[in-house]
Amino acid sequence: TIGVVFLDTFCRKQHLPLYIQMFFSCCTVVQSGGVLLGSSAILPCHISTNDRLSQITWQRTIKGKAPNDVFLTFQPMIGPSYSNGKDLRFEFIGNFNNKNGTLKFSDVTLDDEGSYTCIFSLFPSGKQSRNSQLVILVPPITNLMDYTPFEGNEEVPLATCTAAASKPKAEVRWIKGSLEGKVREELKETQHANGTTTTWSTLLGKPGREMNVCSPGQNYKNKSSSNLSGLYLLPVIAADFPVMSHDHHHSCIPPAMFVLVSA
């Protein structure tokens, strides 16, 4: 799960908050799963043997490179030697004497996704290899847009949640509470050339007074977030509905709803 967005509303005689909470966690050691775009990956490379080690070679198969492209070799008397120019994002954090050729790979991009193989040159057994599959995860840029519909019997959009440019594609799920059965969801997706996907989920329904609860406040639209780390509290007021009220400072909004965004 990359991100979780919870939206909640409360009917009270003060500003109406709609809280958006976002959490994510990621794995940095490349074994299974993946690492976040722009973060660091650990490419493990270790072997247990009594054979004599003369060289560790790293090669990769990624988009835009020839298969099994050799990009780094390491010898005890020479140290690391880079092919086709030094890439400062790679840092040797292993120990040659311990037959450990582990690399730290910083600031990973989508173009870095692929297969990474370390090869041990051993005597007398020959060559042995270890493989890591680097998968890049991209958290979605989330955006919640609410609308201002008029009361009526025609189905209209009530709110749209956008999860943009995520990898893997995000899943948007509305937890509707008391609106269950009164609204439906419409989903659209677009896959981009870089492998990310944008997902739009629109909540549609017939706006009626039975869908509303009253609460003061003003309207905030088009809220978004581009960073899913940590916890965010974002005040949002849903669209006003034209209803009768003795207190003109109060407006009416749909009852509590939640949106779950994950990838």
What confidence tier does 211 reach under pLDDT thresholds 50, 70, 90?
A: low
What's the pLDDT band for 210 if we cut at 50, 70, 90?
Answer: low
Specify the range with the lowest mean pLDDT, choosing from 53-57, 63-67, 71-75: 63-67
**248, exposed or middle or buried, with CB in 10 Å at 0-12, 13-18, 19+?**
exposed
Q: Return the SS3 of 245.
A: coil
CATH class assigned to 35-137: mainly beta
pLDDT band of residue 175 (cuts 50, 70, 90) is confident
| Averaged pLDDT for residues 57-68 | 92
Strand-strand pairing, 103-105 and 114-123: unpaired
Q: What is the pLDDT of residue 30?
A: 36
Return the number of other C-beta atoms located less than 10 Å from residue 97's C-beta.
Answer: 8
Looking at CATH, the fold of the domain delimited by 141-262 is given as: Immunoglobulin-like (2.60.40)
Which one, of 196, 152, 174, 176, lies nearest residue 260 by Cα?
174
Instruction: List the one residue out of 166, 167, 210, 162 whose CA is nearest residue 186.
Output: 162
Task: Tell the residue number behind the tokens 């940590």, with chain if given.
Answer: 230
Domain ranges of the chain: 35-137, 141-262
Q: Which residue has the higher pLDDT, 182 or 54?
A: 54
- Which pLDDT band holds residue 246 (cuts at 50, 70, 90)? very low
The two most distant CA atoms of the chain are separated, in Å, by 91
- CA–CA dist 97, 101 (Å, integer): 10
Domain pair 35-137 / 141-262, same fold = yes
Name, in order, each residue with C-beta under 8 angstroms of 16's C-beta and a sequence gap of 6 or more.
9, 10, 215, 216, 217, 235, 237, 238, 253
